[in-house]
Amino acid sequence: MKKIQISPSILSADFSQLGNEIKRLEKAGADMIHVDVMDGHFVPNLTIGPPVIKALKKHSSIMFDVHLMISPVHNYIEAYAEAGADIITIHPEATADLSSSILKVKKLKKKVGISLNPETKTDVIYNFLDKIDLVLIMSVNPGFGGQKFMPEVLDKVKELKRIQKEKNLDFDIEIDGGINFDNSKSAIQAGVNILVSGTTIFKSNNGDIKKNIELLKSK
Ligand code: DX5
Ligand code: ZN
């Protein structure tokens, strides 16, 4: 079984202190940093772009797990790779040609992830599973932090786990949205090995992020 990893979403961090927030997460034992990039078009919210990622990356050594919620995504991939993204995750609905977008990330020597919205079926990525590093299962509709977890998406995690075994594949399964200390366990049991969390990490236990990371990891 893969090691359970935590990818805190900086969407819930103090935006006036982002550099320090990332240092704090690194110290607290985060395995990577989840960066939610939103364009006000693919999702109804707007966050940060390549210059901010570049500035943050310069002062940290932790992996940047960049979740692109932008459309059309294809022509922006390079900018995020250059800014310092280590994992680049895209939504199939945000590109006209998923195959060439995957290839583009690969050519830039970055890990490539594909994200499935709650209503998107696994069929969409079935033929790409041997070409990608990660599947990001959305457990809320993308756009905002602090939403309620949708337990039904765990069926897709189980299905992906089954396909993974059948085809002898090794991609990571990450979950994103509404993760808390209760549902983290069911997600891990279903087969998730990377948990994204914003609200729970930054707001639970009076913002004790070290404790919150440890609690999310415990099975
Ligand atoms: C939602 C984002 C998530 C979200 C996670 O569109 O992709 O990363 O911010 O935050 P919480 O843990 O608050 O749901
Ligand atoms: Zn995200």
DSSP per residue over the chain, as a string?
Answer: -PPPEEEEBGGGS-GGGHHHHHHHHHHTT-SEEEEEEEBSSSSS-B---HHHHHHHHHT--SEEEEEEE-SS-GGGHHHHHHHT-SEEEE-GGG-S-HHHHHHHHHHTT-EEEEEE-TT--GGGGGGGTTT-SEEEEESS-TT-SSPPP-GGGHHHHHHHHHHHHHHT---EEEEESS--TTHHHHHHHHT--EEEESHHHHHGGGG-HHHHHHHHH--
Mean per-residue pLDDT, 164-185: 98
Closest residue to atom 9 of ligand 1, CA basis = 145
| pLDDT (0 to 100) of residue 188 | 97
pLDDT at 107 over 80: yes
36: domain CATH number? 3.20.20.70
| pLDDT (0 to 100) of residue 86 | 98
Residue 59: pLDDT band (50, 70, 90) is confident
pLDDT at 12 over 90: yes
Regarding the beta carbon of 91 and ligand 1, being less than 6 Å apart is answered no
Cα–ligand 2 centroid distance for 24 (angstroms)? 19
| pLDDT (0 to 100) of residue 80 | 98
| pLDDT (0 to 100) of residue 179 | 98
Cα–ligand 2 centroid distance for 35 (angstroms)? 7
Mean per-residue pLDDT, 120-141: 98
For the chain, what is the domain count?
Answer: 1
Regarding the beta carbon of 65 and ligand 1, being less than 6 Å apart is answered no
| pLDDT (0 to 100) of residue 219 | 73
Instruction: Count other Cβ atoms within 10 Å, centred on residue 105.
Output: 24
Range of the domain at 132: 5-217
As residues whose CB is below 5 A from the ion ligand 2, the structure lists 36, 67, 176
Q: Which two tokens stand for residue 96?
A: 């006209």
| pLDDT (0 to 100) of residue 167 | 97
Mean per-residue pLDDT, 178-204: 98
- Written as one letter, the residue type at 163 is I
pLDDT at 1 over 90: no
pLDDT tens, position by position, 71-97: 999 999 999 999 999 999 999 999 999
Does 133 participate in catalysis according to the annotation? no
> What pTM was estimated for this model as a whole?
0.98
Does 65 participate in catalysis according to the annotation? no
Q: Which two tokens stand for residue 151?
A: 């337990």
